[in-house]
A = this chain, B = another copy of it.
Amino acid sequence: MSLQSIKYQRGSLEILDQLLLPVLSKYVPVRGVEDGWKVINKMQVRGAPAIAIVGCLSLAVEIHPEEFETKKSLRQEIEGKLNYLVSARPTAVNMKISADELIALSNELAKDDTVSVADMKQRFLHATEAMLEKDIADNRAIGANGAKTILEHVAETAGSAGASAVRVLTHCNTGSLATAGYGTALGVVRHLAELGKLEHVYCTETRPYNQGARLTAYELVHEKLPATLVLDSMVAALLRVKNIAAVVVGADRVAANGDTANKIGTYQIAVVAKHHGVPFYVAAPLTSIDLQIPSGDHIIIEVRPDREMTHVGEHRIAAPGISCWNPAFDVTPAALITGIITERGVFRPEVLKAEITALQS
């Protein structure tokens, strides 16, 4: 079964420390918002959906034992701390969207005279806990939608009724470790395997934090899926010789036009996929799609410290004195994306905004 990266019971939250994987499997307690901010910022938890869930649950854990005199003081606590949590990893939009939803809920409850302060707290705790369950359900839907689309495309291309098993490539980690469970892009891979249609999955190392080598490979070995690790530099060579049916990656943020911010290297893979005529899919829950942002030009890219590139643990791997450029993400233009796989369907980038707006209206 999938790994459990988030362990939550009301009043108690622990996360599997992803910086220690694959060497150590250690759970770290998250006792409140300060801990939540730190585990997100230090990347002990990562992946846009997991960041949002852990952030919100860290507030639930903090609020759970507290007594609030007034609904106003509870509302202020919720708003202030959620906005603080958003600042821990600004590129991931899911935390911002979740924060905005919970703030809107608390504003509504604060205004509603039929709701007591105790009720308001309970309703807030329920809402955060529902996110955890919804994420897993959404991921299963993403997995099913993505697997269907990939297999249909292969069947069309092959001109046969049913597709044979496929080889796919994924980047970074978008599995149980990046979400509440199952995964987005890796959920698609899991669903292909459940259908008996996964011939092989290739995962990229994903420098500088090696999420592919450490985390995706860990999940794939754990579940005994047929998998091979490649380096970030090998994608072109792989697509040239290994008959890859599709590339499927996650997203930190998708703009209204379909431009997608994701782990550094994603854009390069998309260019290479286009060159080789391999379909390139982004798998993401609707919470990763930010219709407020017209295009990728408006996405702020986090630049992280040089040390992530120059060291592995305490081991120096780059010449002392060299400068580094370390953007954590890049933006893949919509034109390179075949489809965006969500829990509500797979959308071409050019119709994404219209389709999602229609779903939500």
Q: Is the CB of A325 within 8 A of B233?
A: no
Scan A192-217; emit 1 where CB is below 8 A from any B CB, else 0: 00000000001011111010011101
**Which residues of B sit under 8 angstroms from A317, Cβ to Cβ?**
210, 213-214, 312
Which A75-125 residues have C-beta < 8 A from chain B? none
Chain A interface main SS type: mixed
Q: Is A330 interfacial (CB-CB < 8 Å)?
A: yes
Q: Is A319 interfacial (CB-CB < 8 Å)?
A: yes
Given contacts A271-B236, A330-B236, contact A228 B318 (CB under 8 A): no
Q: Is the CB of A318 within 8 A of B232?
A: no
Q: Is the CB of A323 within 8 A of B23?
A: no
Q: Is A7 interfacial (CB-CB < 8 Å)?
A: no
Q: Is the CB of B237 within 8 A of A318?
A: no
- Min Cβ gap A272→B in Å is 5
Scan A218-229; emit 1 where CB is below 8 A from any B CB, else 0: 101100000111
Residue of B nearest to A242 (CB): B325
**Which residues of B sit under 8 angstroms from A232, Cβ to Cβ?**
207, 231-233, 265
Could you say which of B23, B264, B272, B315 contacts A268, with CB atoms under 8 Å apart?
B272
Q: Is the CB of A231 within 8 A of B265?
A: yes
- Min Cβ gap A210→B in Å is 5
Could you say which of B229, B238, B320 contacts A221, with CB atoms under 8 Å apart?
B320
- Min Cβ gap A234→B in Å is 6
Complex CA–CA separation, A271 to B238 (angstroms):
13
Q: Is A267 interfacial (CB-CB < 8 Å)?
A: yes
Q: Is the CB of A319 within 8 A of B214?
A: yes
Complex CA–CA separation, A326 to B228 (angstroms):
10
Complex CA–CA separation, A330 to B260 (angstroms):
29
Q: Is the CB of B316 within 8 A of A237?
A: no
Could you say which of B202, B237, B238, B272 contacts A272, with CB atoms under 8 Å apart?
B272
Complex CA–CA separation, A205 to B264 (angstroms):
14
Q: Is the CB of A230 within 8 A of B325?
A: yes
Complex CA–CA separation, A237 to B326 (angstroms):
11
Q: Is the CB of A207 within 8 A of B231?
A: yes
Complex CA–CA separation, A324 to B212 (angstroms):
12
Q: Is the CB of B309 within 8 A of A213?
A: yes
Could you say which of B227, B233, B271, B275 contacts A265, with CB atoms under 8 Å apart?
B233
Q: Is A359 interfacial (CB-CB < 8 Å)?
A: no
Complex CA–CA separation, A213 to B324 (angstroms):
10
Which A230-281 residues have C-beta < 8 A from chain B? 230-238, 240, 264-265, 267-268, 271-272, 274-275
Q: Is A358 interfacial (CB-CB < 8 Å)?
A: no
Residue of B nearest to A314 (CB): B315
Scan A294-330; emit 1 where CB is below 8 A from any B CB, else 0: 0000000000000001101101111111111111001
Residue of B nearest to A322 (CB): B217
- Min Cβ gap A51→B in Å is 21
Q: Is the CB of A234 within 8 A of B323?
A: no
**Which residues of B sit under 8 angstroms from A312, Cβ to Cβ?**
312, 315, 317
Most buried by B among A220, A221, A265, A268: A268
Known contacts A229-B322, A234-B265, then 11 further A-B pairs from the complex at CB < 8 Å, ordered by chain A residue: A22-B316, A22-B319, A202-B325, A205-B207, A213-B309, A213-B317, A221-B321, A228-B324, A234-B330, A237-B267, A272-B272
